[in-house]
Amino acid sequence: MLKLGKNDLGVFGFVVAITLLAPFLMNPFPEGSALAQFNAGYPDLMQRFVIFGIFAIGFNILFGLTGYLSFGHAAFLGVGSYAAVWMFKLLTMNIIPAIILAVLISGLFALVIGYVSLRRSGIYFSILTLAFAQMSFSLAYSVLTPITNGETGLQITLNDPRVLDTVNTTGNLPVTGLFGLEMRDTATLEIAGWAFQFNVGFYVSALIMLAAFYLSIRVFRSPFGLMLRAIKTNQNRLNYTGLNSRPYTLAAFVISGMYAGLAGGLMASMDPLAGAERMQWTASGEVVLMTILGGAGTLLGPILGAGFIKYFENIFSKINDNVLHGWFNFMPDFMENVMVTIIHPFVGKGWHLTLGLLFMIIVIFLPGGLVDGGTRLWKRLLTRKQDNSSSVVATTPAK
Amino acid sequence: MGILEVTNVNKRFGGLRALHDLNLSVDEGTVHAIIGPNGAGKSTMLNCFVGRLIPDSGSVMFNGASLLGLKPHEINQTGVARVFQTPEIFGDLSLLDNVVIPALAKHDGAFKLNAWQRVTSRLEIREEAEHILEVVGLIEQKATICSSLSRGDKRRLELAMCLIQHPKLLLLDEPTAGMSRADTNNTIDLLKKIGERGITKIIIEHDMHVVFSLATKISVLAQGTIIAQGPPEEIKGDPRVIEAYLGGELG
């Protein structure tokens, strides 16, 4: 089915299921309960899960398959965002032209940066991409202000031409949409204490992510994908085998740049503004973390990694001292204060510390990332099950 | 006119003259062994053929066209395959993938953006790959990740990777170095078996047992130049060769 192998179909089905059911799965705790702040089922965050999922899936095609570690992918994300906002300003608030332009422009951008950077490999390649991204970031802040609107960031205004849209007489800023569907529209389903939110923007992004994920599975299983893997293993051998590795790496670089542009375009489609900080090196580093954390070179890894990091960023950072006091107020005052003091550095503004520690633990004990950990656990469970069943078989004849 | 014509090739590394007016002619269909003491320039010579090194002067003609200035992948596409001194394989991939890659290179050329095609749908490539693994005796391990193979098996795999491309010229750089006697004999048998395919081979080898079992012609390289050349029986008795390389071993 879908021209996928059995395992790949399973992985794809799993991702389809968790993505489409995310409004339920991300919202396991009833409204108003003490654990409600661990719910991630609100539109804004769910959109970010899938958009960063796209970013990481694309990054994985470059880093996971070829082993070329780009430290400048956020530049493509930023370029995609700017391109999309310009479409909203000039053409229409429909997200389709915006996304198409975002992908094309970032692809062109990746072609230029990739062509230069891929002349080197290893650490030199990483540094070149980092340099290009930081250059783009600085340019967006300074000389390119007419295009990027500098520090304020690029926004839509009432005076924009928007040649395809009907004249706006409401006096309100228009909103992004898809043939009448507004991206910010949200339906809420209340069951008992739960409130599940279904957001148009999330579902649009989710469908695009699923398409992007399907495409990445096809790339993984194609002769092209096999060559990319061969580059990671032994580029020397590949050249003496009659294959020119340069166009392969460049194609992978452009494809992953276009994924980043798609993510940037979608980000702007959910909230039509674009700022230079999206191109900063920390943003590039984040996608590296996502991919490694989830499992570089695996299909599912980048999606898991993106979800994991975005969850921490948004949920752990919200836990402040008041919330902590609330948790421990069953204890005597003295104990309560001690507990709050111990946990305080790890939550709220200190969420980076928790993430850093988790990252270290995963990289040291599970070099293959979360997917590797999951597979090992699964295998262990399977062998245990087999042991149990075989012992049952062995004991039955005795009885 | 041989399939490979090397004329007056010179290569210097700083003050070291690695190749000195080297002339070599390899006839089509022969097994041409290159022997010589360590540092004679054997590997440098091979590297000049495959595009890893560029000679300072001279010409290397293969099948009537110059190989100089071509990149390694372009040279391979003209029909030259190489087995390395230390096996160069795709360690993280399965044995099957290792032979599928050169087969794809042969069929699809140096670059093809076939990201929408499935490897599993290329049945002709798969059949070819399984056949060649059978020839070298590795078919049972086809799904194994090949970094876990023994050194001998890695060499056989690398040979399979070259053979699947049906090269016109096969360069073997010490194909039995570091192998046990049994493995060496297996390799000799295998090379004899594939000899029936009519591939011209150049073998660099230190093991005289291998050389005299396989070679139809031997060239002796010393200090970057060919000092003697001829059929094995002739070389065995040549006093210059004995002096330069063989010592009293065969005397």
Cβ A243–B111 below 8 Å, yes or no?
A: yes
Chain B residues with beta carbon closer than 8 angstroms to that of A250: none
- Minimal Cα distance from B87: which residue of A? A237
The β-bridge partners of B59 are: B7
- Minimal Cα distance from B89: which residue of A? A237
Contact B97/A at CB under 8 A:
yes
Contact B115/A at CB under 8 A:
yes
- Picking from A3, A223, A255, the nearest residue to B114 by CB comes out as A223
Chain A residues with beta carbon closer than 8 angstroms to that of B124: none
How much of chain A exceeds pLDDT 70, in percent? 96
Q: What is the pLDDT of residue A238?
A: 94
- Picking from A222, A240, A247, the nearest residue to B114 by CB comes out as A222
Between positions 33 and 52 of B, the ones with CB within 8 A of A are: 50
Average pLDDT over residues A334-360: 86
- Picking from A223, A230, A241, the nearest residue to B93 by CB comes out as A230
Best mutation target among B50, B104, B166 (most A Cβ atoms within 10 Å) is B104
State pLDDT tens for residues A3-62: 888 899 999 999 999 999 998 998 888 887 777 888 888 889 999 999 999 999 999 999
Cβ B73–A251 below 8 Å, yes or no?
A: no
The β-bridge partners of A378 are: none
> What does the alpha-carbon distance between residue A389 and residue A309 come to, in Å, rounded to a whole number?
39
Average pLDDT over residues A270-283: 90
The β-bridge partners of B218 are: B33, B230
- Picking from B50, B88, B113, the nearest residue to A237 by CB comes out as B88
- pLDDT at position A397 over 60: no
State pLDDT tens for residues B129-155: 999 999 888 999 999 999 999 888 898
Nearest chain B Cα distance for residue A221, angstroms? 6
Q: What is the pLDDT of residue B2?
A: 85
- Picking from A221, A227, A230, the nearest residue to B118 by CB comes out as A221
Kindly list the structural domains of chain B, giving each domain's residue range(s) and its CATH number in brackets, ordered by start: 1-79+167-251 (3.40.50.300), 91-166 (no CATH)
- Picking from B72, B90, B114, the nearest residue to A239 by CB comes out as B72
Report chain A residues touching chain B, CB-CB < 8 A.
3, 5, 218-219, 221-227, 229-230, 232-234, 236-245, 247-248, 251, 255
8 A C-beta contact, residue B108 and residue A223: yes
8 A C-beta contact, residue B219 and residue B244: no
Contact B124/A at CB under 8 A:
no
> What does the alpha-carbon distance between residue A310 and residue A205 come to, in Å, rounded to a whole number?
16
E strands, chain B, where? 4-13, 16-26, 31-35, 57-62, 65-66, 80-83, 169-173, 200-204, 217-222, 225-230
Chain A residues with beta carbon closer than 8 angstroms to that of B88: 234, 236-237, 240
Indicate the domain borders of chain A: 6-27+38-318, 326-392
Average pLDDT over residues A129-149: 91
Q: What is the pLDDT of residue A136?
A: 93
Average pLDDT over residues A192-220: 93
Nearest chain B Cα distance for residue A118, angstroms? 16
Going by C-alpha positions, the residue among A262, A211, A270 that lies closest to residue A47 is A270
> What does the alpha-carbon distance between residue A340 and residue A326 come to, in Å, rounded to a whole number?
10
- What pTM did the predictor assign? 0.91
Residue A187: phi and psi, rounded to 5, are: -100, 140
The CATH number of A6-27+38-318 is 1.10.3470
State pLDDT tens for residues A242-260: 999 999 999 999 999 999 9
Chain B residues with beta carbon closer than 8 angstroms to that of A251: 113, 115
Contact B143/A at CB under 8 A:
no
Average pLDDT over residues A307-312: 90
State pLDDT tens for residues A159-191: 888 888 877 777 788 888 888 888 888 888 888
Between positions 155 and 184 of B, the ones with CB within 8 A of A are: 161, 165
8 A C-beta contact, residue A249 and residue A224: no
Cβ B101–A227 below 8 Å, yes or no?
A: yes
Q: What is the pLDDT of residue A388?
A: 65
Rank A167-181, A216-230, A385-399, B216-230 by mean pLDDT and report only the highest: A216-230
Q: What is the pLDDT of residue B248?
A: 46
Q: What is the pLDDT of residue A152?
A: 86
State pLDDT tens for residues B164-210: 999 999 999 988 887 888 888 888 888 888 776 778 999 998 888 89
Cβ B101–A3 below 8 Å, yes or no?
A: no
State pLDDT tens for residues A285-307: 999 999 999 999 999 999 999 99
- DSSP annotation of A164: T
Q: What is the pLDDT of residue A123?
A: 94
Q: How many CB atoms lie within 10 A of CB A40?
A: 20
Q: What is the pLDDT of residue B249?
A: 47
> Structure tokens of B228?
């003697």
Cβ A240–B105 below 8 Å, yes or no?
A: no
The mean pLDDT of chain A is 89
Chain A residues with beta carbon closer than 8 angstroms to that of B111: 243-244, 247-248
Q: What is the pLDDT of residue A103?
A: 97
Cβ B104–A226 below 8 Å, yes or no?
A: yes
Cβ B93–A218 below 8 Å, yes or no?
A: no
Average pLDDT over residues A116-132: 94
Q: What is the pLDDT of residue A290?
A: 93
Q: Confidence class of residue A390 from pLDDT cuts 50, 70 and 90? A: low
Q: What is the pLDDT of residue A396?
A: 39
Q: Assign residue B58 a region: left if phi > 0, alpha if psi is -120 to 50, beta otherwise?
A: left
- Which tops the pLDDT comparison, B228 or A112? A112
Q: Quick one: CA dihedral B152, B157, B163, B167, positive or negative?
A: negative
Positions in chain B short of pLDDT 70: 196, 244-251
- Minimal Cα distance from B52: which residue of A? A240
Q: What is the pLDDT of residue A156?
A: 87
Nearest chain B Cα distance for residue A278, angstroms? 30
ipTM, interface predicted TM-score of the complex: 0.91
- Picking from A223, A242, A255, the nearest residue to B106 by CB comes out as A242
8 A C-beta contact, residue A369 and residue A303: no
Residues with Cβ < 8 Å from A290, sequence gap 6 or more? A52, A55, A56, A59, A302, A305, A306, A308, A309
- Picking from B104, B113, B161, the nearest residue to A251 by CB comes out as B113
> What does the alpha-carbon distance between residue A361 and residue A54 come to, in Å, rounded to a whole number?
25
Q: How many CB pairs under 8 A join A and B?
A: 104
